[in-house]
Amino acid sequence: MKTNNMELLAPAGGMKHLKAALRFGADAVYGGLKSYSLRASADNFTWEELEEALALTHERGARFYLTLNLLPFDEDLQGMAETARRACALGVDGALVADIGAFSVIRKAAPALPMHVSTQANVMNLAGALHWAELGARRIVLARELSLERIQRIRAGLPKDVELEAFVHGAMCMSYSGRCMLSDHMTGRSANRGACAQPCRWLYHLVEEKRPGEIIDVIEDERGTSFFSSYDLNMIAHLPELSRAGVCSLKIEGRMKTPIYVASVVSVYRRALDLLNAQGEEAYRAALPSLNDELEKVSHRAYNTGFYFGRPAPEGGAGPVTQTMEYTADIESCSGGWMTLTVKNRFFPGDRVEVLTPGGVHPLTIQEIRDAETGENMESASVAGKQVRVPCSFQAESGDFVRGINRNHL
């Protein structure tokens, strides 16, 4: 089965994330400027960085979609229109918009800019999809509550030049397609204005009205009770089904995640798609155990397949974040049998780590650690941001990553 019509779309929370996404195989990225994006706490891009990002993206033959998916007030619309006009002139490949008023204003300001309808617009049915298409939408990011069967029906009724995009991996929201007021109520930070404090991930207890002070545990583990916390989506085992349903773009969530998270997840889905395209479904299915093992290494909550196969059975909260590997270091250079690393988390001589490259994962035992400036031997690399050197018997490059065993997982 060929799936080469499906785009692998990765999050770009900032320049480093964008470089990781492109290096590890994304066909397209999505990211925001400092304003009008639903991830105000991400690094995001200045105008100068956006120009650089577009140059890097287009050099790779990839596409950059700009997030303008804030739910705006009247006073936001002129700025959104001006932003869209300038971004279109710079060469962004599409704008992601959630609000119908913003959609209308941006269409008039930048008629050449391809318009993508955000999942925040809650497109749940063919009538809604057709309405957006009539307004000029080039692509619709479907609501997360849709099954594959419903997606297939929407696809069958849409014009062929209107594309469907769907999330395949990453954090999900406890609220309907992300329309949540909990953060605004509890912290004054509106999720719909890009400032979600993620209170659904906090730990809670239940108190019954007639039993004040009596705390009732809802779901308990060693880290507390988190019954609002949703599962993480993982559709790595169902890419052929997504293709058959008519999805053209596979979207990875994660503009607030680390660059190594982006690199790791993108590399897994890239490998899966390449196997499907080059060798077919049998080879892809045979690789699923190793692909899933890779996805266990990144930071995540318990995985499920969302609503794609019908309403999820009530299983309680997703529990705490887990990962079998942790972000150890960034690789700055590699030559003469030595790697120069920027430390992220502590490691020691004798530690067994993995080097994540676009060509695959390479095991490495840390034989010794030297200070990158003085050349002195070190008992450990324990200061985040410090540069150190370690011996390496294979070739790695700037932009690759080192990850080590998560000691908290043992």
CA-based max dimension of the chain = 71
* Residue-wise pLDDT tens digits, 333-369: 999 999 999 999 999 999 999 999 999 999 999 999 9
With b meaning 16 or more CB within 10 Å and e meaning fewer, what string describes 283-297? ebeebeeebeebbeb
* Residue-wise pLDDT tens digits, 156-179: 999 999 999 999 999 876 555 555
Q: Please, which residues have CB within 8 angstroms of residue 55's CB and are 6 or more apart in sequence?
A: none
Question: What are the φ and ψ backbone dihedral angles of 98, each rounded to 5 degrees?
Answer: -105, -30
Q: Averaged over 22-29, what is the pLDDT?
A: 98
Bridge partner list, 9: 28, 251
To which H or E segment does residue 222 belong? none
Q: Averaged over 360-386, what is the pLDDT?
A: 97
* Residue-wise pLDDT tens digits, 87-134: 999 999 999 999 999 999 999 999 999 999 999 899 999 999 999 999
- Residue span(s) of the chain under CATH 3.20.20.70 come to 7-173+230-304
Q: What is the model's pLDDT at position 180?
A: 62
Residue ranges of alpha helices (H) inside 7-90 are 15-23, 47-59, 74-90
- Greater model confidence, 208 or 29: 29
> Mind giving me the DSSP string for 343-401?
ESS-B-TT-EEEEEETTEEEEEE----EETTT--B-S-B-STT-EEEEE-SS---TT-E
CATH 3.20.20.70 for domain 7-173+230-304, yes or no, is: yes
Q: Averaged over 182-207, what is the pLDDT?
A: 63
CB 135 within 8 A of CB 99: no
Instruction: Identify which of 307, 297, 301 has the alpha carbon closest to the alpha carbon of residue 238.
Output: 307
Homologous superfamily of 325-409 in CATH? Translation factors (2.40.30.10)
Q: Averaged over 263-280, what is the pLDDT?
A: 97
Identify residue 192 by its one-letter amino acid code: N
- Residue span(s) of the chain under CATH 2.40.30.10 come to 325-409
